[in-house]
Structure 1
Amino acid sequence: MTHPDYAKAAAFISADNVRTLLMDLVDISSPTGSEIGVAQYLVARMRKSGMDTDLPLVDTNRPNAVGHRRGRGDGLNLLFTGHMDTSYSGQEEHLRDAGLGFQPKAIHRDGWVFGLGANNMKSGLASALIATEAIERAGIELAGDISFGGVVGEIEKTAIEEFQGVEYSGYGIGTRQLATHGVTADFALLAEPTGMRISVANLGCIWLRITVEGTVAHSALANRPNVVNAIAVMHELQTDIAKWSKDYEAAHVFMGEHPNVTVAAIRGGAPWRLSRNPYECSLYLDIRTVPGQTVESVKRDLRKVLRGFADRKGIAEPKLHVYVSDPPLLLDDKLPIIEALGAAQKDVTGERPPNIIRRPGADAIHLTAYGVPCVAFGPGGRMHPEAKNASSMHSFGEHVLVEDCVAAAKIYLAMALDLCSRKAS
């Protein structure tokens, strides 16, 4: 049932104020490692609206942006959250002339906002903050607290080998700091782009490196029978891995979605010294998992493939090194936040689409693991008509429909009023 003060608060949500906040956020460049400008902006805005604020450091010059709107203290507490870092900086050579959606400069055109981060996920941050501000401006007292956490380092990247530094420090580092340093709640709403569908589950992810060894030798002597070319060996191994990948993807399914295996990188040899036989070659796999799978079960399956290849070739088993292990997520769809969110969406839009499982990694996984059940729901994901032939937002450039951001803000508002009016048991 709609909260009696919903209309009073909803009057403070408009296309103009949602769009203005979104465009302000997009205009602040915030690639992974350089999120401080957005954090400072959010905290200043939350402080101005009357919230208690903090800028807790995750790393040098990398604070999360935290705000709290206190309730009476006897109700359910809610955390709105989302990441401030963007997938790219816009300075990458292949993106400089790629289009509007690849630069940290907001452009409003025909009801759409284009710009780096517009979709993922400054649109969600804007909608959630506007909803929180609307409650404050309407002067509504709630039983529970509403907190806001803009986090650093969510983008799926991690430091490995020579790729070190804050620009590689992602995969939930900000959210883990949030959850282990007192920013908790009974439930959390992650405003990730879900196409306005409620995500009650998430694929997990494993990143691993497989390394085969060759022989140290001069290239002029590489034709000798005892010289092993590591790249050639890896080329053969890839055939076995491709077969395993196909079987793996077919064997697992959840909510209609199959996991997938991507050969995401390969390294071997020295381009600057081709006079040396490649004595090592590494293949890097991104393996998605569905609820019910574990990292250990996937490792065992893959090692069976590696042992079989090694036995057939008469070589040592290729080395396997896991360096990202993000578990899959599955929420109980009877949770109060999911019930309240679904009812809010139905009240605001007249529709309640089926729940989904989300494929890309998300901070909902980390918050839930730390005891804060987190559902993902956000305004991004709808593709512009001109992008109908694009494979994804990543190939066309980021954009979001302002109308969806406004609807999301109103849904967040209705959900927060409902949930935070409930007494904690």
Structure 2
Amino acid sequence: MNNTHAFDPQQQAWFEAACKRIDTERLRRLNADLVNIHSPTGSEQEASEFMAARMESIGLKARYQPVNDASGNAIGELCGDGTGPSLLLYAPIDTHLEGNETDLPMVGDRLRDDMKPEAILRDDLVIGLGASNPKAMVASLTEAVNAVIEAGIELKGKVVLAFAGGGMPLYVPERGNYGMSTGVTHMITHGVTADFGIIMKPWYEIYHEHPGMCWFKVSVKGSLGYAGIPRGTPGFRSSIIPATTVINEIEQWLTEFPSRHSSDQIAPEGWIASVRSGWPERPAFPAATTEIFIDVRTNPNQTMAGIRHEFDQMMAGILQRHPDIEAEWDMYGSCPGSATAPDHWIVQSAHAAWEHQEGRPYPGAPMLSGQTDAAMINKLGIPLVRVGYPWIGDASVPEEFADGLGGMGVSNIQDLVKPIENIIYSIIDCCTRTREETGLNG
């Protein structure tokens, strides 16, 4: 372990005292309470107000920060004597599904229990929409701060505990196009800041690089047809059949993309996410346009303009090889990636916490491309490290929830204990030291 982040006897005593105060039943109840408060992207007000009240009840200076009539953020501060740094502890609070029949059939042929905003408690498991991501993250960070308070740790710095809406990589047109880091962008541009921070997400790993993403729409052109017209009739061209050629070509480009653009910790993936054409209620009339929607992830060194140029070149190549295909395309969403220097204090603090816990050097994180609010927080000026907890799929998951991503809705309370201890370690490591000790000037 880096000796700079090693604990003196007092810090070690505080750490042990705080870890003893981790209350798994309290954690379980909060996790379940949050699942029972439905918070789809763009409609997080109730959940954020609930968390603001919870933070105030445990001793933080807390408030609800409204963004609009349906959404807002929860912010709490635990202040020390003012001589130390400020540490942001962050997790989003919104879920990626609506949790009702409107999700069908896209999530499958039925809503499983892990896709519903109704908590089911089964031994150490909390089951329900968002129980793992993001509700377990919110509960875990809160439990870490609660344990620090109960242990009576004397802080020099400030802990900023914050939860924002709009964190999912999607947007909701009917709720003001909320999503893609809307809430945290508002938070940071409206007075909430810190010297550095930690975001909690799935996987028991440490990441200093944060992927970005670009969304593209490709429109393959044809003509409005009629099912009774013979194939080959002049003046009628399908948009759907040529789109299959475009899809296969884009898929080949996407499979090669990660190897061309991998960075230190990011292997940026991309997926064809949606295809749209025609009217289900008018199958007699094949549509003149077939639309293909693509999500491409990026490493922190790529620019959005650079990705757009590469996509343009790829599509131009497809049309050159297939001159009978007519298509146009555009980039309709983007969020740049970002990174914190691997030797930054907060990154090394996360490493020290993991190594203190595991008793061995951190071996390095597997490559990933999961986009989070971390990219935007870091881009807006707060150095950030991503830490996490074992994904439920890494261990024994009930068979009925094992297929696919589902509602990210099964958390194991015991799996959260070590990550909470790691968060406590970094709180002590950062906020019981002076600003100068953590590499800050003044």
The TM-score, its normalising length taken from structure 1, stands at: 0.90
For residue 178 of structure 1, report the CA deviation from its aligned partner.
1.0
Change (3 A) 1:380 1:100: farther
Distance 2:346 2:245 in 1: 50
Contact (CA 8 Å) 1:142, 1:421: kept in 2 or not?
A: yes
Listed as ranges, the gaps of 5+ residues in structure 1 are none
Instruction: Count the aligned residue pairs.
Output: 420
| Residue 421 of structure 1: aligned partner | 432
Distance 2:154 2:294 in 1: 50
Contact (CA 8 Å) 1:260, 1:288: kept in 2 or not?
A: yes
For residue 202 of structure 1, report the CA deviation from its aligned partner.
2.8
Amino acid at match of 2:314: V
For residue 277 of structure 1, report the CA deviation from its aligned partner.
4.4
Change (3 A) 1:24 1:390: closer
For residue 121 of structure 1, report the CA deviation from its aligned partner.
1.8
Contact (CA 8 Å) 1:90, 1:104: kept in 2 or not?
A: yes
Deviations 1:11-57 (A, max 9, x none): 32122222222222222222222222221221111112222122111
Distance 1:10 1:395 in 2: 32
For residue 128 of structure 1, report the CA deviation from its aligned partner.
1.0
| Residue 206 of structure 1: aligned partner | 214
Amino acid at match of 1:370: L
For residue 210 of structure 1, report the CA deviation from its aligned partner.
0.8
**1:323 is matched with which residue: 332, 352, 358?**
332
**What SS class does the counterpart of residue 236 from structure 2 fall into?**
coil
| Residue 145 of structure 1: aligned partner | 158
For residue 284 of structure 1, report the CA deviation from its aligned partner.
0.7
Distance 2:133 2:31 in 1: 11
| Residue 384 of structure 2: aligned partner | 374
Distance 1:349 1:111 in 2: 22
Change (3 A) 1:365 1:396: closer
Listed as ranges, the gaps of 5+ residues in structure 2 are 1-5, 436-440
Aligned counterparts, 1:237-386, within 5 A: 237-255=246-264, 258-314=267-323, 318-351=327-360, 353-356=362-365, 357-383=367-393, 384-386=395-397
Distance 1:241 1:373 in 2: 35
**What SS class does the counterpart of residue 75 from structure 1 fall into?**
coil
Q: CA RMSD in A?
A: 2.6
**1:39 is matched with which residue: 48, 51, 68?**
48
**Pairing 1:30–2:34 present:** no
For residue 214 of structure 1, report the CA deviation from its aligned partner.
1.9
**Pairing 1:136–2:144 present:** no
For residue 380 of structure 1, report the CA deviation from its aligned partner.
4.7
**Pairing 1:410–2:418 present:** no
Amino acid at match of 1:132: V
Distance 1:393 1:233 in 2: 30
Contact (CA 8 Å) 2:209, 2:265: kept in 1 or not?
A: no
Distance 1:21 1:349 in 2: 27
Amino acid at match of 2:375: I
Contact (CA 8 Å) 1:78, 1:147: kept in 2 or not?
A: yes
Amino acid at match of 1:39: S
Contact (CA 8 Å) 2:115, 2:406: kept in 1 or not?
A: no
Change (3 A) 1:99 1:288: same
